[in-house]
A = this chain, B = another copy of it.
């Protein structure tokens, strides 16, 4: 279990609530991935492959080094969840795509990661809109 990105000084109620949310969210994500024997990073990459795409595109979207993606995709490939086909238009590049088993695993992950769904579901539609507006404003 990853250590929480905890509050240093809890100056306000709202800040504490934000921290609690982030902590619970992260733990739930990790737990859902673990249920499928995936690391959070693997689940994340798998979830970005609704359409096949290149390694570089993944790296840029996820904000990490390309060599990091190489490793994670290699593990997903070894698990049979992903293929890494050559790009016919550019022989330097690879196109990563989920296999049928990858699709199924991704779907099972989406089902297992209930936290966001459940949390939002505790709010009425009006409250959901309020929350969205407040979060958007807070994010600046």
**Residue ranges of A at the interface with B (Cβ–Cβ < 8 Å):** 1-9, 11-15, 17-22, 24-27, 29-30, 40-41, 43-45, 47-48, 62-64, 68, 72, 106, 109-110, 113, 116-120, 122-123, 127-132, 134-140
Contacts and interface: CB of A to CB of B under 8 A. Distances in A.
Contacts of A9: 110
Contact of A21 (B1, B20, B21, B27): B21
B110 A17 contact: no
Given A19-B116, A21-B21, A47-B7, A123 B138 contact: yes
Contacts of A30: 5
A44 B6 contact: yes
Instruction: Count the copies.
Output: 2
Given A6-B44, A109-B8, A119 B140 contact: yes
A26 to B, nearest CB: 6
A20 B118 contact: no
B119 A40 contact: no
Given A4-B62, A48-B6, A132 B41 contact: no
A45 B2 CA distance: 12
A107 to B, nearest CB: 9
A29 B6 CA distance: 9
A133 to B, nearest CB: 9
